[in-house]
């Protein structure tokens, strides 16, 4: 079985003359991207392992920069521009009742009446709670609140069971 690769960020710039690169991170908090090693970078269509030698938060913590193994020159760093950063799925640690957003993307969303509402295309942070963005015939924004709207998550079968009524001229939800 092939190992599963998760995209956790991208190289989006160069920093200085010694080969440091700017990092756009999909992790939360953003600097958690540095918790994983090695990374795999997709450069010119090919994945290659790379180790992070050092990293810093720049501009008052707003920008992430990293020094990568064997990249000590601005020109070499420039060749990495746009490279996706991935890690292996088995590098993540989680409890049985925890889910990573990436695992929820693509799941079918079914209500308790067995109606397929659509597929999860995104999750949105709203401050109060996260929201599933469901696209399909009965797509909607569904609050990610366990035991109220989210009844069950079956990652293995890529299915989420929700307590969600179809919109029938009323904006009220169960």
Using only the alpha carbons of the chain, give its radius of gyration: 20
> Are residue 108 and residue 87 in the same domain, yes or no?
no
Total count of domains within the chain: 2
> Are residue 84 and residue 108 in the same domain, yes or no?
no
Q: How far apart are CA 134 and CA 108, in angstroms?
A: 9
Which CATH number does the domain housing residue 19 bear?
Answer: 2.40.30.60
**Dihedral sign of CA atoms 90, 126, 55, 71 in order:** positive
pLDDT tens for each residue of 77-116: 999 999 999 999 888 776 767 777 778 989 999 999 999 9
Cβ atoms of residues 87 and 80 within 8 Å = no
Final residue in a domain of this structure, among 91, 118, 140: 91
Q: How far apart are CA 65 and CA 30, in angstroms?
A: 11
Give the pLDDT score at 172.
Answer: 46
> Are residue 36 and residue 79 in the same domain, yes or no?
yes
What range defines the domain where residue 137 resides? 101-162
Give the pLDDT score at 1.
Answer: 52
- What does pTM read for this prediction? 0.64
> Are residue 63 and residue 12 in the same domain, yes or no?
yes
| DSSP secondary structure of 18-84 | TTEEEEEE-SSSGGGGGGS-SEEEEETTEEEEE-EEEEEEETTTTEEEEEETT--SHHHHHTTTT-E
Whether 124 is covered by a domain: the verdict is yes
pLDDT tens for each residue of 127-171: 888 899 999 999 899 999 999 999 999 988 999 999 999 876 444
Give the pLDDT score at 52.
Answer: 96
Residue 134 three-state SS: strand
pLDDT at 41 exceeding the cut of 80: yes
Q: How far apart are CA 146 and CA 164, in angstroms?
A: 12
Give the pLDDT score at 2.
Answer: 66
């Amino acid at each position: 079985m092939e190992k599963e690769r998760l995209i956790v960020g991208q190289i989006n710039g160069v920093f200085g003359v010694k080969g440091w690169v700017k990092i756009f991170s999909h992790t939360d908090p953003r600097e958690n991207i540095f918790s994983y090693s090695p990374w795999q970078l997709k450069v010119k269509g090919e994945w290659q392992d790379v180790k992070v030698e050092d990293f810093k938060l720049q501009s008052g913590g707003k920008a992430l920069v990293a020094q990568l193994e064997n990249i000590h020159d601005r020109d070499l760093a420039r060749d990495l521009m746009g490279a996706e950063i991935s890690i292996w799925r088995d590098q993540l640690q989680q409890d049985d009742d925890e889910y990573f957003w990436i695992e929820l993307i693509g799941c079918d969303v079914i209500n308790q009446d067995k109606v397929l509402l659509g597929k999860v295309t995104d999750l949105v942070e709203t401050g109060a709670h996260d929201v599933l963005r469901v696209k399909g015939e009965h797509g909607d924004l569904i609050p990610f609140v366990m035991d109220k709207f989210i009844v069950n998550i079956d990652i293995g079968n890529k299915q989420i069971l929700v307590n969600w009524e179809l919109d029938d001229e009323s904006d009220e939800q169960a």
